Amino acid sequence: MEREEIPSIRVTDMRDIKENFTIETNGFAVFDTDCGLAYDDYFDEEKLQVYFRHVESLLGNHLGAKHVQVFRYAIRKRDPDWPKSSDIPHAWEQPTTVAHIDATLDEARREVRLHFWKPLKGPMNDWPLLVCDAATVDKENDITDSDLIYPDHAAENMQVYYRPGYKWYFLSNHKTTEIIVFKQTDSLPAACAGVPHCSFANPLRPGNEAPRENIEVRVLAYYDE
């Protein structure tokens, strides 16, 4: 698959309109919530379980799913030299600049997969998360399944074809108590598409801001239907 860099993509700051977005219509929403963990707690596996239970409760109450379960998480710390290439492996996962959806419908059987995304330090403007309004995505024509081949395993995600009608949003001065929840897949045919997402070099980032650090939690939500 060949990738093409599209210059001058318009992005919109949703700081003043974040309440307008819903998972059901746009594929993403912003929740103001605090689980009470300190920065160092996110690197402690036992204390991290508190955040996982908080995520599951928040999503279960909002979506009314029969069962909600965290199944994977990742912490990203942007290397100060990234995105410059280097032969030295990074100690932590880095941001991604390629718009994608992290799962395919073949992998998601009668379930909804979502991401919970929040910074570990804030307010954050460095390489912010960029999400596409799923209401502007045509599930049949705008996305395609893609194989991901790693040295020790294989997986699938969805790649996104460029179209000028997409609407992209980010959250300026992203606080640690603001979680962006966005959909990856939904087995319900009438539901909106998964949310293409990536990150971008924010020209409005303060020059003295530290590199981005964030946690991403992947969640499964099951329904009776």
β-pairing, 100-101 vs 213-222, is: unpaired
Q: What is the pTM of this model?
A: 0.86
Q: Is the peptide bond before 83 cis (omega within 30 degrees of 0)?
A: yes
Instruction: Say how far apart CA 102 and CA 121 lie, in whole Å.
Output: 24
Domain segments of the chain as ranges: 11-222
CB count in 10 Å sphere of residue 26:
21
Is the Cβ–Cβ distance between 220 and 126 less than 8 Å? no
For residue 98, which amino acid is it? V
Q: Would you write out the chain's pLDDT as a tens digit for each of its 225 residues?
A: 566 676 778 999 999 999 999 999 999 999 999 999 999 999 999 999 999 999 999 988 887 778 889 999 999 999 988 888 777 788 888 888 878 777 665 544 458 899 999 999 999 999 999 999 999 999 888 877 665 555 665 556 677 888 889 999 999 999 999 999 999 988 888 788 889 999 999 999 999 999 999 999 999 988 765
Which CATH architecture describes the domain 11-222?
Answer: Sandwich (2.60)
